[in-house]
Amino acid sequence: MFDVDELLGRASLKERIDELEAENERLQAQYEAESERRADAATARQDAERELNRLEDRIAQLEGELERVREDETDLEYRRRERVRGAELDGIVDRLTSFRTGPEGALTTTVDAGLDDIDTDLEAVLGDRIALLEDATPCLCCLDDASLLAITLDPPVRPDLEESWDDRFRLEREWFLPTGRYVLALVRADLFAVGRYDDGDRTDYRGFESDVKGSHSKGGFSQARFERIRDEQIDDHLERCRETLEAYVDDAAADRLYLVGQRGVLETLVAESTVDPVATGAVDATGEPKSALEDAHRSFWTTDVRVL
């Protein structure tokens, strides 16, 4: 008997349909496997972030306990410890720069990771109070050989200053105070603001916000898709920040650039742009771009002062 399908040419079409259905099933299985893999990856990422946050909280707790133990063991306290800015900080810098000793009686040095890189036997000068200096690092340290004055500062611009003994402290006002013409920019994942300043007074401003998705906690494939979209939005925002900042710095005719904001965002922007900031700083400035820039500027030009 004749095969009707072959006679009408439908046999090859049926075979093709079967092949396409098999291919469709294979692709569907591949899609489901990929979706499951992405969901598992997103879940694993969330779990890792939660674990990281837990460990960071635990570290902070242990550091607090360690500090309390040290205080209990040594019964040492800073004679003065506060964050200062403006006229009060100006007065402190004036007093420190006016201090005079005999030849090589005043030490100025940057202490980054610890005291091992410092040649001077600071314990002979500070005694037990050297523990307070260790707790204050990283910092800029000023002390005299008679132990009459010992102070640490954490200025907005921390210099890479080698150990130096002189008849006075080696300090520059621009490490602590807004001087001359400079540009300060605030960069967050969803906000950008930049201003030109003359001796701390803002003379120009630009700013904008970008539409960047917030948090998402459902997990699964939707979480992975959400994070991919959010990362793309942040990338677009940072590209706009880079273009705006580079053009602004070129036009501003400023002596220095300072960048503040979210630490990871700042690192990405600096790595992908041609700007060369004198200093960067992490600040928690929120609100509209202009008001956030004011908060960021005030926070950046603040110095931690500890009298040992």
- Give the mean pLDDT of 25-42: 75
Fold (CATH) for 181-300: Nucleotidyltransferase; domain 5 (3.30.420)
Q: Which pair of tokens denotes residue 14?
A: 């049926």
For position 230, what pLDDT does the model report? 80
38, pLDDT greater than 90: no
62, pLDDT greater than 90: no
Q: How is the chain split into domains, by residue range?
A: 9-75, 76-176, 181-300
Higher pLDDT, 219 or 280: 280
280, pLDDT greater than 80: yes
Which of 235, 298, 302 shows the shortest CA–CA distance to 272? 235
Which of 270, 271, 234, 276 shows the shortest CA–CA distance to 255? 276
Segments of the chain assigned E as strands? 80-84, 106-111, 139-144, 150-154, 164-166, 181-187, 191-198, 201-209, 256-261, 279-282, 303-307
For position 213, what pLDDT does the model report? 65
For position 6, what pLDDT does the model report? 53
- Give the mean pLDDT of 177-190: 94
DSSP symbols for 115-154: STT--S-HHHHHGGGHHHHHHH-SEEEEEETTSS-EEEEE
Q: Which residues pair with 88 in a beta bridge?
A: none
List the end-to-end C-alpha distance of the chain, in Å, as a whole number: 107
Contact 241, 192 (CB under 8 A): yes
What share of the chain in percent tops pLDDT 90?
Answer: 48
Cα distances from 78 to residues 55, 84, 97, 104, in angstroms, run 29, 15, 22, 26
DSSP assignment letter at 175: G
For position 16, what pLDDT does the model report? 74
Q: What is the mean pLDDT of the chain?
A: 85
- Give the mean pLDDT of 148-162: 92
| Strand order across the beta sheet in which 139-144 lies | 80-84, 303-307, 150-154, 139-144, 106-111, 164-166
> How far is residue 206's CA from residue 248's CA, in Å, rounded to a whole number?
9
- Give the mean pLDDT of 282-297: 93
Which of 75, 90, 71 shows the shortest CA–CA distance to 155? 90
9, pLDDT greater than 70: no
